[in-house]
Amino acid sequence: MALTLTCPICGKRNGYEFRYGGEDKGSRPDEKGLSPADWCDYVHMNTCTAGVQKEWWFHRDGCGAWFSTYRNTLSNLEVDRPEDST
């Protein structure tokens, strides 16, 4: 409940307003030649990072934007984009 998130449109807001959208796993893989296992990994498997991860959030009680941001899962605080991430 202490979480705040920075919506690219509305700015820093209370975490209550957002819905979590999962880890940032990259865009949908091509359907052609996709094995069931790979597909399942993409949809259901998570890295569950203990530390800073990039993830999706939806501003449900606000502008309705999906955006990605960085959060430290250990402190449950939004953090600046880490230096080594691309």
Partner 1 sequence: MKRLRQFPTLHIDTNETRSLKYRGKSLQGFAGDTVATALYANGIRIFSRSLKYHRPRGLYNLDGESSNTCMEVDGVPNVRTENTLLKDGMVVKAQNVKGSVDHDLMAFIDKLDWLMPAGFYYKTMHKPAAVWPVAMKAIRKAAGVGTISADYKVKGRYDEIFLTADVCVIGGGAAGMMAALTAAESGVRVIVLESRPHLGGCWDYRTGAYKENKPLFARARELAGQVENTSNIRVFKQTSMVGAYNNNLITAFQVGKSNDAFTERYVEIRSKSVVVATGCIERPLIFENNERPGVMQVACAHRLARSYGLLPGEAAVFSIGHDLGLEAALDLFDLGLKIRCVADIREDGHDAGLLAALAERKIPVLKGWVAAKAHGCKQVTKVTLATLDGTVKRHIPCDLLVASAGHTPVNGPLILAQTNIAYDNHSGFFLPKKLPEKMFSAGWMTGRSHPQAIEASGQVAGLKALAAIGVTDKTAVFAAEKEAAALPGIDRGCKLVTAPVKGRKSFICFDEDTTIKNIKQAIDMGFDVPELIKRFTSAGTGPGQGGIPGHNLPLFVSKYTASASKPMPTAVRPPLVPTLLATYAGAHHHMFKRTPLHASQKKGGGIFRNIGVWQRARYFSSDFDCKDEILNVRNNVGLLDSSTLGKFRIFGPDALKALQRLYVSDMSKLKQGRIKYSAMCNDDGCVIDDGIVIKRGDNDYYVTTSSGRAGNTVEWFRYHTRYDGWQYHMVNLTDAMGVINISGPNARKVLKKIADADISNNAFPFAGYREFTVKNTIPVRAMRLGFVGELSFELHVPSSYMQSVWDMLMAAGAEFNIKNFGLEAQNVLRMEKGHIILGQESEQRTNLLDLGLGFLWDRKKTAAKTVGAVALRQAENDPGRFKLVGIRMQDDARAPRDGALIVDTHVRGYVATARKSFTTGEAVGMALVESQLSKPGSRLEIYEDECNEIRLQARVVPMPFYDPDGQRMKM
Residues that bind partner 1 (CB under 8 A): 1-4, 14, 19, 21, 26-28, 30-32, 34, 36, 39, 43, 56, 58, 60, 64-66, 75-77
Query: Shortest approach of partner 1 to residue 11 CB, angstroms?
Result: 13
Query: 57 is written with which tokens?
Result: 């959030």
Q: Is 65:21 a contact under the CB 8 Å cutoff?
A: no
Query: Shortest approach of partner 1 to residue 82 CB, angstroms?
Result: 19
Q: Which is nearer to partner 1, 2 or 50 (CB)?
A: 2
* Phi, psi for 36 (deg, rounded to 5): -55, -40
Q: Which is nearer to partner 1, 21 or 82 (CB)?
A: 21
Query: Shortest approach of partner 1 to residue 8 CB, angstroms?
Result: 13
Instruction: Give the C-alpha separation, 47 to 25, whole Å.
Output: 9
Task: Give the other-Cβ count within 10 Å of 72's Cβ.
Answer: 15
